[in-house]
Amino acid sequence: MEDHIRFVSGQTNNADTLPALLTAAFYGLETIERATSLLSEHAPPHCREACGTALAEAVNAWWALSDAPAWAVPSGPASFPELASLTAELVLLVSETLLKAANKTSLSADQVACLAAVDHAGRVHAALRRIA
């Protein structure tokens, strides 16, 4: 999780245009949501309420940002089929990255996790191709 936080922090620090700032913030909020979810799962009893509140508010922040009209600027919103096609392409890129990671690790559990994610991503890609 620390690598995710460092990566998103770097992206956020390097963002300078409105689309780059919003994108970095969006990824930051997704990372915050995942981190607070992880914290909630492992919180000692006296911290559970605060962790639950942090998780709920992280989700609310993500949804609030998703309503920003600037997401449609400057090129306008993608059509439904265009968005499905772009997402399908991203799935392939992420799948390729997962396969590279699986090949670089010597831990069987890491390989299994990467390959399981690729399997699910393949199903996402197949479903999106039916739309696009």
Q: Which pTM does this prediction carry?
A: 0.70
Give the pLDDT confidence score for residue 75 in this predicted structure: 58
Q: Which pLDDT band, with edges at 50, 70 and 90, does 26 fall under?
A: confident
- Is the pLDDT reported for residue 68 higher than 80? yes
What span, in angstroms and rounded, lies between the C-alpha atoms of 13 and 21? 9
| Spans of all domains in the chain | 1-77, 78-132
Residue 109 phi/psi, 5-degree rounding, is -65, -35
